[in-house]
C-alpha cells in the first residue's frame, strides 16, 4: 500500500478588476443572466456565461420545474446550448454566478457534480482546458484552470473501450 495525494491549484481574486478584461466581462454576463434564472422552487438563481474559442459568448441560467428533477442547472443550459449551436468551437471558459432570491451572498458558486461531468466531456473531446470562474453577485472570484482540478478520477469516453 502506498499513500498518494492529489493537489489542486486555483487562483483567488479579491476583486473583479484583477482579472483580464475579457474575463471581467464574462463574469459580468454571468451575473446579469443569473437575475433571469427560473427558480421558483429553490429560490436560488444561477447564471452561466460560456466563452468559446472564437469569442462567442453563450448564456444560460437555471430552469426549474414543478416536477423537481426535471429542471436543469445554469451551467448545463449554457454549455448544451453552446455545443448545440457551435459544436466545433472548444469552450475556453465558463463563468458561474449564484444569485439567491432571499439572501445575499458573496460565496463563489462551485458547480454541482453533474455539471462538472458535463464540462469534463467537452474538455476531453476538444482537448482544451476549460477555465472556470466561480462567483456570486459580489465578492471574490475563484479561477480554476481546468475541470480536471474539480473532477479527478474521471469517468470518460476512454473507459467505454478496451
Site string for ligand THU, 13-42 (x = CB under 6 A): --------------------------x--x
Asked if 112 is part of the footprint of ligand THU (rule: CB under 6 A), the reply reads: yes
Q: Is 121 exposed, middle or buried (0-12, 13-18, 19+ CB in 10 A)?
A: middle
Round to whole Å and give the CA distance between 157 and 63: 28
> CB of residue 3 vs ligand THU: minimum separation in angstroms?
31
Considering only CA atoms, which of 135, 73, 144, 131 is closest in space to residue 107? 135
Asked if 75 is part of the footprint of ligand THU (rule: CB under 6 A), the reply reads: yes
> CB of residue 4 vs ligand THU: minimum separation in angstroms?
28
Asked if 44 is part of the footprint of ligand THU (rule: CB under 6 A), the reply reads: yes
Considering only CA atoms, which of 97, 80, 90, 94 is closest in space to residue 131? 94
Taking the least distance from each CB to ligand THU, the nearer of 18 and 139 is: 139
Round to whole Å and give the CA distance between 64 and 84: 21
Considering only CA atoms, which of 106, 46, 104 is closest in space to residue 74? 46
Taking the least distance from each CB to ligand THU, the nearer of 38 and 54 is: 38
Site string for ligand THU, 45-64 (x = CB under 6 A): -x---------------x-x
φ/ψ of 41, rounded to 5, equals -95, -50
Asked if 81 is part of the footprint of ligand THU (rule: CB under 6 A), the reply reads: no
Round to whole Å and give the CA distance between 64 and 72: 6
Asked if 111 is part of the footprint of ligand THU (rule: CB under 6 A), the reply reads: yes
Count, residues near ligand THU per rule CB under 6 A: 13
133: cell is: 470562474
Would you tell me which residues interact with ligand THU (CB under 6 A)?
A: 39, 42, 44, 46, 62, 64, 71, 73-75, 111-112, 115
Amino acid at each position: 500500500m502506498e499513500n498518494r495525494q492529489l493537489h489542486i491549484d486555483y487562483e483567488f481574486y479579491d476583486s473583479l478588476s484583477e482579472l483580464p478584461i475579457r474575463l471581467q466581462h464574462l463574469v459580468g454576463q454571468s451575473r446579469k443572466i443569473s437575475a433571469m434564472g427560473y427558480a421558483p422552487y429553490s429560490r436560488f438563481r444561477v447564471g452561466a456565461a460560456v466563452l468559446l474559442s472564437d469569442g462567442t459568448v453563450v448564456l444560460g441560467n437555471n430552469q426549474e420545474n414543478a416536477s423537481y428533477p426535471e429542471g436543469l442547472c445554469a451551467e448545463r443550459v449554457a454549455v448544451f446550448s453552446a455545443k448545440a449551436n457551435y459544436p466545433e468551437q472548444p469552450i475556453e471558459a465558463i463563468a458561474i454566478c449564484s444569485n439567491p432570491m432571499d439572501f445575499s451572498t458573496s460565496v463563489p458558486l462551485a458547480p454541482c457534480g453533474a455539471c462538472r461531468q458535463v464540462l469534463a466531456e467537452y474538455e476531453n473531446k476538444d482537448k482544451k482546458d476549460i477555465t472556470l470562474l466561480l462567483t456570486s453577485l459580489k465578492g471574490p472570484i475563484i479561477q480554476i484552470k481546468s475541470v480536471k482540478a474539480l473532477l479527478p478520477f474521471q469517468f470518460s469516453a476512454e473507459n467505454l473501450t478496451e
